[in-house]
Amino acid sequence: MPTVEERRETAEQLALILSEHGMQRMAARVLAAVIFAEQPTLTQGELAEELTVSTGSVSGAITTLTSVGLVERVPAVGSRRDHYRLRDDAWARLFSRQNEVVDAMMRMAERGVETTAQGGYARPRLEEMREFYEFVLDEFPALIERWHRRREAKRS
């Protein structure tokens, strides 16, 4: 049976990989802690204690993770503190229109096209950005549906 230290070390390795690939370091550490938690939810204080960091740094990371749909705040009967957990279907949600970051990028690409000159250098880049997000967001529903069917088949 793995020890608590082995679990924590593996969680930190995951956080390192996530941060090496673009995720803010504290958000990566909080996400890894939530994923590796042996309880259904964690409070901000519990996360700070697990990671030996301030609750303020955890707060910023939670804001980031909730905005992309990976972590959610959930009610906890009898507790006055907010509790957080990995959102059900987090990975599919990360790549869907429900992801606020993806949606914001799509809106900004469209706005960028509207506010740049035809024939300039910026407009083609913004048009490609918009077209890419349009394509990806059009394709993801079918991919996510296939994922859901596969997940359900494995659970049956």
3-state secondary structure the chain: CCCHHHHHHHHHHHHHHHHHCCCCHHHHHHHHHHHHCCCCCEEHHHHHHHHCCCHHHHHHHHHHHHHCCCEEEECCCCCCCCEEEECCCHHHHHCCCCCHHHHHHHHHHHHHHHCCCCCCCHHHHHHHHHHHHHHHHHHHHHHHHHHHHHHHHHHC
Task: Return the minimum-mean-pLDDT range out of 32-36, 52-56, 86-90, 94-98.
Answer: 94-98
- pTM to 2 decimals? 0.77
Is the pLDDT at 77 greater than 90? The verdict is no
Mean pLDDT value across the chain: 91
What does the pLDDT read at residue 116? 95
Tokens of 57: 């740094």
Residue pLDDT, tens place only, 24-59: 999 999 999 999 999 999 999 999 999 999 999 999
**Sign of the Cα pseudo-torsion (11, 15, 89, 155, in order):** negative
Tokens of 31: 């996400």
> Which pLDDT band holds residue 92 (cuts at 50, 70, 90)?
confident
Q: What's the mean pLDDT in 10-34?
A: 96
Q: What's the mean pLDDT in 87-114?
A: 83
